[in-house]
Structure 1
Amino acid sequence: MSGPITVVGTGTGAPPGEDVLAGADLVVGGRRHLDAVRLPEGAERIVLGPLAPALDAIEEYVAEERRVVVLASGDPGFFGIVRALAERFGPRRLEVLPGVSSVAAAFARLGLTWDDAVVVSAHGRDPRTAVNVCRAHPKVAVLTGPGAGPAELGAALARTAPGRVLVVASALGDPVRERVERVGPAEAAVRDWGAAVSVVLCLEEARLPGRVRTLAGPPRRPAGWALDEGDFAHRDSMITKFEVRALALARLGPRVGDLVWDVGSGSGSVAVECARLGAAVSAVEKAGDGAARIRANAAAHGVDVHVVHGTAPEALDGLDDPDAVFVGGGGRELADIVGVCARRARRSVVVAMAALDRVPAARAALTDAGFACDGVLLQSSRLAPLPGDVTRLAATNPVFLLWGVRPRISDVEGVAQ
């Protein structure tokens, strides 16, 4: 049974007809939505600001079985007010009449499909997730908000993904004020965009998907990881072996919206695998030929990796704070590098070492930064052929893998209690 709350998405076209509002005792919505309609005689109206007072007022009308109409932008079930209303009153009390979402309208203006787009909301949220998604994926729609609009997105992407194209859609559906503009990140960063921006599309046109899709949303996660060393270009076997990479990826936990650093990246095998799993990645490598090799490996696997040609820890100064860090090189500076990474990582740091002597200093750097530290010595033997159609075991070099995990606030509070 539909309840007394009707939620109307105004879409990107004309306001709802009077028949939708007929019989309403209370109409709730943004000022521009309310000003665009004629209220039924005797109906009260509430201009949406803070959501809690409006929900309290709606509850009073619902308790008396009086009819409420809520006006919202676009499709109110898509990052919209339907969630809050359903949590408060239950979905069976709602009659939802969706309009065309700003995301659908923006892609329609460009003549592009959006079943293969990643959609992320930065409205009232930390914009770093939206930035990381834009870096990692070729087709992204960002729902903007104060402090997380085209200028902020452009400033972040100009440093790490300057080749992206931003499509800024403003006042969609307004016959006079609608604007759809294509700009680069650097230009977006210095423009005053005002408050009418509806959505920003971030495109890497060279990587736009073109295949027929079965599932909507971002490409499916790869069927496997810890790829064979032969899947990467590398120099003199200087590459993180797949056994080590498998456990490192498990401890890093790369996912959509994350930023991962791969420090001392070498061939970029860890960086590429993290990018294949949906994370944004910055790979730091001091050798010029190594930096070129990382770019080539990223291109071969169809992912984007931000490559920094420089020496850690100094090269880390200009990077955004990561969620997770893999340190695969560092030499005598390893402890200093791990310390810098641990101070800035939001979740975890993983360190791979061949030298026994460097394990204590790396472990101390993690624990001194407040991380819970653990580790393992990985020794593996692979099947290898012998003459006569028989097989032997060929040992690989042992590697120490340490990882540190930043305790969650709840964990710390639990210990304190």
Structure 2
Amino acid sequence: MITVVGTGTGAAPVPDDLLAGATLVVGGRRHLDAVRLPAGAERVVLGPLAPALNRIAEYAGKELPVLVLASGDPGFFGIVRALAERFGAGRLDVRPGVSSVAAAFARVGLPWDDAVVVSAHGRDPRTAVNACRAHPKVAVLTGPGTGPAELGAAVPGDRVLVVASALGDPAHERVERVTPAEAAARDWGTAVSVVLCLDEERALGAVRTVAGGRSAPAGWALDEGAFTHRDSMITKFEVRALALARLGPRLGDLVWDVGAGSGSVAVECARLGAAVVAVEHAADGVERVRANAAAHGVDVRVVHGRAPEALSGLADPDAVFIGGGGAELPAIVTACARRARRAVVVAMAALDRVPAARAALTGSGFSCDGVLLQSSRLAPLPGDVTRLAATNPVFLLWGERLPAGVAQDEQDQQDQQIKAIEGVDR
């Protein structure tokens, strides 16, 4: 049997009988130093996981008792996953302590059933940063390169960071509330257990039935009447539905809405969990985007400026929706495609702009597909009868980033096709 015991953060001491019977004890150096190992037991300090798992396998194969010491709840972003995958859940006896997330929220007196919990330990920090941008209550399990300073430099200035260090250690535990700017200016060392990122005005939240962050919305592609807009200048819900499907906004993503207008696409992406930046050059448009975001209870960062110049200071997005641009559209599409990690979607009313937008996508290493959307809606007529009312046709192009080799092959094929056409013209 492999026994896994969570220690620290208020956990009870490791039972003497477990220690006395162990032939192999595995854990972090501080966990091992905190217990008295039985005579003859082998001690393995956790570093790279593979060597420790191999050593455990040798003892487990001989049916010798193994004790693994971990922090807090080892089933919560902890070593239980790796042990269960290697040895099977049936061979584990897990005795959890209090997770660092639960302890941190307890220290500040807040419930956490509505919190988003993100691990940045050994993972891409973008997910943690974007979750903090989008949600009012986030717990980040920190790691090298993603601690309080890095989070403070990236999250909105209206957030409060709660930095919890050495949780469960009476002599060294510290829980500090700081602004993002204060967090970014300090060296926090290696004792940080977890960082809470809070919008304090919404930190208590509502009574929940399902744990986790914002629940998935009951519907999307909302009717235009759900948004304040000017003279029907809004992305229609049929177009928005397909655009959202191609953007794929989700928790941990950053989405740009360029030429946001009313911000309907920005708001819908935020409702689906993404962090969102809306770029709009008209002052009254900026206020409409802010009003629509507030009306739907989501965070949307609004940048007042004209693309592509206004994009230069923004963090790289996962996906981009472009709903405006005029004569500058090819330059805007190119600027967005060069920085988008996954997808770019472009909505256009003018047929003349489609070829240039398509060329800008493919020239930036994206695949490209699209449709002309023409819908007719049910509309009442006198006499309790119904007609079909046509909406304006809209071209929707979307591109997905191709692997480097594939992108070059497609570009070469397009170049050959162009040369062939030029040869025929001559």
Letter of the 1:10 counterpart:
T
Query: How many angstroms apart in 2 are the aligned matches of 1:79 and 1:15?
Result: 21
2:262 aligned residue: 267
Supply the distance in 1 between the matched residues of 2:266 and 2:407 (Cα, whole angstroms). Answer: 31
Name the residue aligned to 1:381: 376
Which residue matches 1:203? 198
Question: Following the alignment from structure 1 to structure 2, what is the Cα–Cα distance between the partners of residues 166 and 209?
Answer: 15
d(CA) in 1 for partners of 2:386 and 2:42? 83
Match of residue 6, structure 1, among 3, 12, 21: 3
Check whether the contact 1:18–1:38 (CA below 8 A) recurs between aligned residues. no
Matched, 1:317 2:315: no
Q: Distance in 2 between matches of 1:367 and 1:207?
A: 43
* Correspondent of 1:86 among 84, 87, 91: 84
Please report how far the alpha carbon of residue 293 of structure 1 lies from its aligned counterpart in structure 2 after TM superposition. Answer: 1.0
Point out where structure 2 has 5 or more consecutive residues left out of the alignment: 411-426
2:60 aligned residue: 62
In structure 2, the partner of 1:278 is 273
Question: Which residue among 17, 21, 25 is the counterpart of 1:23?
Answer: 21
> 1:39: which partner in 2?
37
Does the C-alpha gap of structure 1 residues 12 and 413 become closer, same or farther in structure 2, counting only changes over 3 Å?
farther
Q: Secondary structure at the match of 2:290?
A: helix
Structure 2: distance between partners of 1:355 and 1:290: 21
Corresponding residue for 1:355?
A: 350
CA contact (8 A) 2:257 2:266 kept: yes
Q: Secondary structure at the match of 1:22?
A: helix
Rounded to whole Å, the distance in 1 between the matches of 2:202 and 2:9 is: 29
Structure 1 CA distance for aligned equivalents of residues 205 and 301 of structure 2: 24
Q: CA deviation at 1:407?
A: 2.5
Residues 381-409 of structure 1 show CA distances to partners (whole Å, capped at 9, x for unaligned) of 11112222222111111100000011257
Question: Of residues 325, 330, 334 in structure 2, which corresponds to 1:330?
Answer: 325
Inter-CA distance 392–119: structure 2 relative to 1 (3 Å threshold): same
Given the two structures, how large is their TM-score scaled by the length of structure 2?
0.93
Amino acid at match of 1:134: C
Give matches, 1:171-190, under 5 Å.
Answer: 171-190=166-185
Letter in 2 for 1:5: I
One-letter amino acid of the counterpart of residue 297, structure 2: G
> 1:149 is matched with which residue?
147
Give the letter aligned to residue 161 of structure 2: L
Aligned partner (choices 176, 187, 191) of residue 186 of structure 2: 191
**Kept after mapping to 1: 8 A contact 2:256/2:276:** yes
Residue 369 of structure 1 corresponds to which residue in structure 2? 364
Alignment check: 8 A CA contact 1:11 1:75 kept: no
SS in 2 for 1:293: helix
Q: Deviations over 1:337-374 (max 9, x none)?
A: 00011111111100000011100000000011111100
Partner AA of 1:338 in structure 2: V
CA distance in 2, matches of 1:43, 1:411: 55
2:131 matched residue in structure 1 = 133
Matched, 1:241 2:236: yes
- Alignment check: 8 A CA contact 1:252 1:348 kept: yes
How far is 1:411 from its partner?
Answer: 7.5
Counterpart CA distance in 2 for 1:278 and 1:42 is 52
Name the CA distance, whole Å, in 1 between partners of 2:186 and 2:235: 43
| Letter of the structure 1 residue corresponding to residue 256 of structure 2 | W
Cα distance between partner residues in 2 of 1:373 and 1:367:
6
- Distance in 1, Cα, partners of 2:225 & 2:243: 19
1:110 to 108, 117, 121: 108
Q: Secondary structure at the residue paired with 2:181? A: helix
Q: Which residue of 2 aligns with 1:406?
A: 401
SS of 2:35's equivalent in the other structure is coil
Contact 1:8 1:72 in 2 (8 A): yes
Q: 1:209 to 1:270 in 2, by over 3 A?
A: farther
Evaluate the alpha carbon distance shift between residue 209 and residue 274 of structure 1 in structure 2; reply closer, same or farther with a 3 A threshold: farther
1:89-112, CA deviations, whole angstroms, 9 ceiling, x for partnerless residues?
111111100000000000111111
Task: Tell me how far 1:207 sits from its aligned partner.
Answer: 2.7
Relative to structure 1, the CA distance from residue 82 to residue 414 in structure 2 (aligned partners, 3 Å threshold; closer, same or farther) is farther
Q: Who is 2:75 aligned against?
A: 77
Moved over 3 A (4+): 408-415
From 119, 122, 128, the counterpart of 1:121: 119
Q: Would the aligned equivalents of 2:110 and 2:204 in 1 still touch at CA under 8 Å?
A: no
- Give CA deviations for 1:14-42 in whole Å, capped at 9, x if unaligned: 54132221210010101100000000111
The unaligned stretches of length 5 or more in structure 1 are none
- Secondary structure of 2:246's match? helix
Q: CA RMSD in A?
A: 1.6
**1:305 aligned to 2:326?**
no
Q: Distance in 2 between matches of 1:189 and 1:182?
A: 13
What amino acid is aligned across from residue 345 of structure 1 in structure 2?
A
Alpha-carbon separation, structure 1, partners of 2:205 and 2:289? 25
Partner of residue 254, structure 1: 249
When residues 412 and 362 of structure 1 are mapped into structure 2, their CA distance, relative to the original with a 3 A threshold, is closer
What is the TM-score with the length of structure 1 in the denominator?
0.95
CA distance in 2, matches of 1:217, 1:79: 15
Superposed CA offset, 1:48-91 (max 9, x none): 11111111111111111111100000000000001111111111
Find the aligned partners of 2:349 and 2:238 in 1 and give their Cα distance.
Answer: 14
- Classify the secondary structure of the residue corresponding to 1:372: coil
Distance 2:405 2:353 in 1: 32
Q: 1:412: Cα distance to partner?
A: 7.8
Amino acid at match of 2:165: S
Does the aligned pair in 2 maintain the 1:207–1:302 contact within 8 Å?
Answer: no
